[in-house]
Amino acid sequence: MVVQPSLRCLTVLYDAQCGLCQRARAWLAAQPAYVQLEFLPAGSPAARERYPRLDVAATLGELHVVADDGRVWSGARAWVMCLWALRETRSLSLRLAGPRRMAVAQSIVARLSERRYTLSEILRWDVPRAPSEA
């Protein structure tokens, strides 16, 4: 994975209806970063307006990251980009970006993505619902 140091901002499209995703978003936002991370709920009107060419179902199915230069990463590669943006995890991201480790990361991320609602429920990380949704 070759990344130009000129990146200033990465937009993270995450599933706002997933407790695990909400926790990951909060953790990422709290970390010191080399590159600014901006967060948009996948499938939201703002995300659709800003990125009309992205497949909404795909962005809801797995994490997507969009660079300020237009490049897009999804799944494990998106997670590696998030780690790359952070001060304390950049070296880890570079190790994970290698072909062998990326294959393992893709497998792990795919399994977690498929089970994220179940994991959120087990861990009691449910997303609070508005009173009208209860």
Q: Mean pLDDT per 10-residue run, the chain (134 residues)?
A: 73 91 92 97 96 95 94 92 94 85 73 70 64 46
Looking at residue 102, what is its pLDDT?
Answer: 73
What is the value of pTM for the model shown? 0.80
Residue 1 lies in a domain: no
Q: Number of folded domains in the chain?
A: 1
Looking at residue 131, what is its pLDDT?
Answer: 47
Please answer whether residues 64 and 71 qualify as being in contact, where contact means their C-beta atoms are separated by less than 8 angstroms: no
Give the domain extent around 121: 9-127
Residue 85 lies in a domain: yes
Residue 53 lies in a domain: yes
**Strand order across the beta sheet in which 9-14 lies:** 36-41, 9-14, 64-67, 72-74
Looking at residue 117, what is its pLDDT?
Answer: 65
Looking at residue 20, what is its pLDDT?
Answer: 84
